[in-house]
Amino acid sequence: MSASQLTRRQVMGGVLGMVGVTRLAAVSAAPTAGRSGAAAAGTLTIGGDLVVNRMGFGAMRVTGPGIWGEPKDPAEARRVLRRAVELGVNFIDTADSYGPEVSERLIAETLAPYPRGLVIATKGGLLRPSAPQWVPDGRPAHLRVACEGSLKRLKLARIDLYQFHHIDPQVPLEDSLGELARLREEGKIRHVGVSNFNVEELARARRVVPVASVQNRYNLADRGSEDVLGVCARDGLAFIPWAPLASGSASRLEVSDALEKVAAAQGVSVMQVAIAWLLAKSPAMLPIPGTGSVAHLEEDLAAARLQLTPEELARLG
């Protein structure tokens, strides 16, 4: 993700290679009976060996306003991270550009030594010269330094999932991903992921290195990555969507109205409906709702048990 002014209504949050997906009963992503928290969404396997609950946590919002600097309430940020793990989240998504560096550092300070099975995914390839700026940097030398910096901040010997945050138009894609392939061969990265890629770019990436995740913007109103999702669903891959809600145009307002009606009928929030819709859309989905509030975290994760009716799904499209 690379927007500097994102609200809670706009943010959710960041698998190519061999990825097995656990299909759930009833609707394609119906809640799992008898389970609570993140586990209620079922599981998927990243890269053939990382089994995670299909509701992750995006750690972008544990930083300061504008994804810049320290959080206003550091104690609450740490409570959010601890509570996420208590509620069964075992996939946390972050990036070196969140803060910058603040999100990664807080994760390590709060959760290391990490519980068994917890997957920390991070990203590199975007610089933050100032709060409003998100500047692509795909130079191999930069990606190596970025990866090694993330290893140090996260207190890890190897990063389970390292995602190329954004293509740099000044650097050939093959050069950027070639460096990540070398880092993988060196054992510093277990799996490589990509973010903000289209189908053609994804195909090029897979020719350079086994890719284990795709993280793109996707929500009810913005389905520009529908074809990427289709590739993931067809091949049994996982798709990590961000920005579950949007507003500001006539078409988006129409979708917002549908969301509000379904939410009212279910007696839940529109954010919960948006997350439940993602889970129902495809078993390839791995949502990563993000927040800096424990109350909002608990609300988001409760969506894992929300079962939308066929009529509600049809209304939402």
pLDDT attached to residue 92: 98
Prediction pTM value: 0.87
Cβ burial, residue 314 (10 Å; 0-12/13-18/19+): exposed
Contact between 252 and 238 (Cβ < 8 Å) = no
Residue 137 tokens read as: 């940097």
Pairing relationship of beta strands 189-195 and 135-136 according to DSSP bridges: unpaired
Q: Which helix (H) or strand (E) holds 102?
A: helix 102-111
Active-site pick, 98, 114, 162, 218? 98
Q: pLDDT tens, position by position, for the chain (317 residues)?
A: 433 333 333 333 332 222 233 222 223 334 454 577 999 999 999 998 999 999 999 999 999 999 999 999 999 999 999 999 999 999 999 999 999 999 999 999 999 999 999 999 999 999 999 999 999 999 999 999 999 999 999 999 999 999 999 999 999 999 999 999 999 999 999 999 999 999 999 999 999 999 998 999 999 889 999 999 999 888 878 899 988 765 434 445 445 788 899 999 999 999 999 999 999 999 889 999 999 999 999 999 999 999 999 999 999 98
Pairing relationship of beta strands 57-58 and 91-93 according to DSSP bridges: parallel
pLDDT attached to residue 167: 98
* Residue 125 to residue 165: CA distance in whole angstroms: 5
Tell me whether residue 162 is one of the annotated catalytic residues.
no
Q: Which helix (H) or strand (E) holds 137?
A: none
* Residue 119 to residue 234: CA distance in whole angstroms: 25
